[in-house]
């Protein structure tokens, strides 16, 4: 199973974006997604951004993941 966590783009240099979530940051390639800007949210797989998300979709997904992390 694959879990897609939305990551916020905090910087862009050429075809590489610096993304962040929960205090973790990493660099990802933007070769597969057009029009990504700082402040956007992306889904990343194998070091590549593969999809852009709206801020609303990202917030909804992050809220669900947080509830799941709280456990029963």
Helix (H, G, I), strand (E, B), or coil: what is residue 4? coil
Please tell me the distance from the alpha carbon of residue 12 to that of residue 72, in angstroms, as a whole number: 39
Residue 20 in contact with residue 6, Cβ under 8 Å?
no
Q: Give the three-class secondary structure for 60.
A: helix
Q: What is the pLDDT of residues 47-68, one digit of tens each?
A: 999 999 999 999 998 898 888 8
Q: At a CB cut-off of 8 Å and minimum separation 6, what does 28 contact?
A: 7, 16, 17, 19, 42, 44, 47, 48, 49
Tokens 């509830």 correspond to 67
Ordered domains of the chain (ranges, CATH)? 7-70 (2.30.30.140)
What pLDDT, in 10s, does the model give residues 34-44? 999 999 999 99
pLDDT band at 1 (very low <50, low <70, confident <90, very high): low
């Amino acid at each position: 199973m694959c879990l897609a966590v939305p990551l916020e783009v905090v910087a862009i240099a050429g075809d590489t974006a610096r993304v962040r979530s929960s205090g973790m940051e990493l660099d990802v390639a933007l070769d597969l997604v057009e029009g990504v800007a700082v402040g956007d949210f992306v889904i990343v797989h194998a070091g590549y951004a593969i999809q852009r998300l709206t801020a609303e979709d990202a917030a909804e997904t992050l809220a669900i993941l947080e509830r799941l992390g709280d456990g029963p």
